[in-house]
């Protein structure tokens, strides 16, 4: 069986000899990928890998470096550094031949299959893949827009992550660190509760009289509820207070006051995770967003339901049932998209039965983690991914062994996405 | 789920002429095995902390996966994941990893 790949390569080489007769083929086709996160970077790599370098791939990313949201709560809690979660795009360029452009997209013309960059460059594409992640909707909370320095979100890893850690470090002992969680769906369902845990872990060591207040717009903890509550009881004994059904209406950035439906809360550090929508670059393709927020895609191919030749993956999509907005899931969708795009470029139907899976680790303290896992199979009758019943599940208990596993996951997914 | 197998054959059937015409059909095992890469590395070349699956004999992998699915092999997570794949899918995955060279990636 060592020869399966060689067999396909040989078949490909044989076909190249006759390429003068080819009609439309994937040779020399150009795919443009916008957004170099877990979805877009992985898609760019796998498009090159699975086409044996025959499809040209351009990745447009506005940031110079990849900064991982997964593991960024460890940085906020002082247990890891920014360097640990910061990676570059040289692997995509040097190992895989992806053209990486640091720029922003200013216009997309799906009928001409062309996009324009802020630099003025125009890129023509055969297929376009957008993996833009999320943008925030701060305007839905009065007084929040324009105040992200005083009231950080730290929900896109980067300078905001370092800022929130500095605010925590500067907080007086006995201070209140308040986190507001928007109504679901949002990026990384267990993320806010992991953050509360790691902030409490920091406070237990450095500010034992401090309090972590979790103000959740939802009626309950959105993921790994039992495991989080157990850890909060065992490890932090009263330091974390959880308040459900606390919709945030407004903030006062000067006094760091959260104005909730029934009362006001004044905090020393106020971390508001705003409501979210698909990254705004999707507005350039003219797709009709679901609830004005998420892109509807055909999950067999990841092609946008109402815009041909354009694919969208990751947090920006209207998720399939019980499919979380996670980095793992974006990386998995990237492979569904890469395979489908290469097939469509070659006039082949997409794989009729794709599979994706999710593995999501959360820390309950800097030395202890737990997971939730699921496997999702494309269901032909429903024409979407559905979780495989009986598969997946949660950790029995958070443990140091799973913290080691979480680090292994991080190093492997970063390498799989970027190198 | 009984539909899956005929669909795969139908799909493989549509691939043959396309390969001949210069298209680039992607091996079904390769795309399935790619779902393991988040923890086990691209094409099974782990960068550390998990088992490298590249070059592991097919039958060894299938034996382990079957033991995970049946809950006979102790695990924190693999018993939950292995149950999500059909025996046919696990075979395709094992064949893909077995066919990979054992070097340690880039």
The DSSP secondary structure of A66-82, one letter per residue, reads EE-STTHHHHHTTSS-H
Q: Is A3 on the interface with B (CB under 8 A)?
A: yes
**ipTM metric:** 0.91
The whole-angstrom separation of Cα B66 and Cα A196 is 38
Q: Estimate the crossing angle of helix A38-50 against helix A327-345, to 10 degrees.
A: 40
Mean pLDDT of B69-96: 96
- Tell whether the model's pLDDT for residue B98 goes beyond 80: yes
> Mind spelling out the 3-state secondary structure of B14-68?
HHHHHHHCCCCCCCHHHHHHHHHHHHHCHHHCCCCCCCCCCCCCHHHHHHHHHHH
| Domains identified in chain B and CATH numbers | 27-98 (1.10.760.10)
Mean pLDDT of A275-299: 98
The partner residue sitting opposite A354, judged by closest CB among B31, B39, B82, is B31
Residue B102 has a pLDDT of 86
Residue A18 has a pLDDT of 31
Q: Is A88 on the interface with B (CB under 8 A)?
A: no
Where residue B20 falls among pLDDT bands split at 50, 70, 90? Answer: very low
Residues of chain A with Cβ-Cβ distance to B39 below 8 Å are 359, 408-409, 412-413
In 3-state terms, what secondary structure has residue A298?
strand
Where residue A66 falls among pLDDT bands split at 50, 70, 90? Answer: very high
Q: What is the DSSP letter of A290?
A: B
Flag if B31 and A339 touch (Cβ within 8 Å).
Answer: yes
pLDDT higher at A22 or B95: B95
Flag if B47 and A375 touch (Cβ within 8 Å).
Answer: no
- Tell whether the model's pLDDT for residue A289 goes beyond 80: yes
Q: Is A314 left (phi over 0), alpha (psi -120 to 50) or beta?
A: left
The whole-angstrom separation of Cα A10 and Cα A3 is 10
Task: Calculate what percentage of chain A has a pLDDT beyond 70.
Answer: 94
Best of B80, B85, B95 to disrupt the A interface by mutation (most A CBs within 10 Å)? B80
Q: Is B44 on the interface with A (CB under 8 A)?
A: no
The whole-angstrom separation of Cα A11 and Cα A261 is 65
- Tell whether the model's pLDDT for residue A77 goes beyond 60: yes
Where residue B25 falls among pLDDT bands split at 50, 70, 90? Answer: confident
Q: Is B96 on the interface with A (CB under 8 A)?
A: yes
The DSSP secondary structure of A301-366, one letter per residue, reads TTEETTSTTEEE-GGGB-PPTT----HHHHHHHHHHHHHHHHHHHTT-PPPSS-EEEEEEEEEEET
- Tell whether the model's pLDDT for residue A1 goes beyond 50: no
CATH 3.50.50.60 positions along chain A are 25-62+103-137+276-351, 140-275
Residue A16 has a pLDDT of 37
The whole-angstrom separation of Cα B102 and Cα B106 is 12
The whole-angstrom separation of Cα A191 and Cα A197 is 10
Residue A27 has a pLDDT of 72
- Tell whether the model's pLDDT for residue A2 goes beyond 60: no
Mean pLDDT of B71-87: 95
Domain A140-275 class?
alpha beta
Domain A25-62+103-137+276-351 class?
alpha beta
The pLDDT mean for chain A works out to: 94
Residue A5 has a pLDDT of 43
Mean pLDDT of A306-314: 98
Query: Residues 389..418 of A with a Cβ closer than 8 Å to B: which?
Result: 390-393, 395, 399, 401-402, 404-405, 407-409, 411-413, 415-416
Residue B6 has a pLDDT of 52
Neighbours of A328 (CB within 10 A): 23
pLDDT tens, position by position, A103-124: 999 999 999 999 999 999 999 9
The whole-angstrom separation of Cα B60 and Cα B64 is 6
- Tell whether the model's pLDDT for residue B17 goes beyond 90: no
Residue B4 has a pLDDT of 52
Where residue A28 falls among pLDDT bands split at 50, 70, 90? Answer: confident
């Amino acid at each position: 069986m060592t020869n399966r790949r060689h067999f396909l390569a040989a078949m490909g080489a044989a076909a190249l000899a006759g390429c003068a007769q080819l009609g439309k083929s994937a040779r020399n086709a150009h795919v443009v990928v916008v957004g170099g996160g877990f979805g877009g970077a992985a898609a760019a790599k796998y498009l090159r890998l699975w086409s044996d370098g025959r499809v040209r791939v351009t990745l447009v990313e506005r940031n110079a470096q990849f900064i991982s949201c997964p593991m960024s709560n460890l940085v906020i809690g002082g247990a890891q550094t920014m360097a640990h979660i910061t990676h570059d795009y040289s692997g995509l360029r040097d190992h895989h031949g992806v053209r990486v452009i640091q720029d922003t997209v200013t216009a997309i013309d799906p009928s001409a299959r062309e996009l324009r960059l802020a630099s003025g460059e125009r890129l023509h594409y055969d297929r376009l893949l957008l993996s833009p992640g999320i943008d925030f909707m701060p305007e839905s909370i009065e007084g929040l827009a324009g105040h992200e320095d005083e009231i950080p979100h730290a929900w896109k890893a980067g300078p905001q992550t370092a800022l929130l850690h500095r605010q925590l470090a500067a907080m007086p002992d006995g201070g209140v660190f308040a986190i507001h969680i928007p109504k679901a769906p949002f990026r990384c369902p267990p993320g806010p509760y992991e953050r509360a845990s790691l902030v409490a872990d920091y406070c237990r060591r450095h500010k034992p009289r401090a309090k972590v207040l979790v103000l959740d717009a939802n009626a309950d903890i959105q993921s790994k509820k039992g495991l989080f509550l157990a850890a909060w009881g065992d490890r932090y004994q009263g330091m974390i207070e959880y308040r459900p059904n606390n919709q945030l209406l407004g903030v006062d950035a000067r006094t760091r006051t959260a104005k909730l439906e029934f009362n006001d809360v004044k905090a020393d550090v106020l971390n508001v995770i705003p409501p979210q929508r698909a990254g705004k670059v999707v507005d350039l393709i003219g797709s009709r967003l679901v609830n004005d927020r998420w892109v509807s895609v055909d999950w067999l191919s990841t092609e946008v339901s109402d815009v041909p030749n354009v694919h969208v993956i990751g947090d920006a999509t209207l998720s399939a049932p019980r499919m979380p907005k996670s980095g793992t899931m974006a990386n998995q969708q990237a492979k569904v998209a890469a395979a489908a795009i290469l097939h469509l470029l070659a006039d082949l139907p997409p794989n009729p039965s794709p599979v994706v899976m999710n593995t999501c680790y959360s820390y309950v303290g800097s030395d202890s983690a737990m997971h939730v896992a699921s496997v999702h199979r494309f269901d032909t009758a429903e024409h979407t991914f559905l979780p495989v019943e009986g598969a997946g599940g949660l950790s029995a208990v958070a443990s140091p062994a799973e913290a080691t596993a979480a680090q292994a996951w991080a190093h492997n997914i970063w390498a799989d996405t970027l190198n | 789920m009984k539909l899956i197998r005929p669909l795969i054959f139908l799909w493989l059937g549509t691939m043959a002429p396309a390969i001949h015409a210069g298209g680039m059909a992607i091996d079904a095992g390769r795309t399935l095995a790619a779902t393991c890469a988040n923890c086990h590395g691209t094409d099974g070349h782990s960068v550390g902390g998990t088992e490298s699956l590249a070059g592991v004999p097919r039958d060894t992998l299938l034996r382990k996966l079957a033991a995970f699915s049946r809950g006979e092999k102790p695990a924190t997570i693999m018993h939950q994941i292995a149950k999500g794949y059909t025996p046919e899918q696990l075979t395709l995955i094992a064949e893909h990893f077995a066919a990979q060279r054992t070097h340690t990636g880039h």
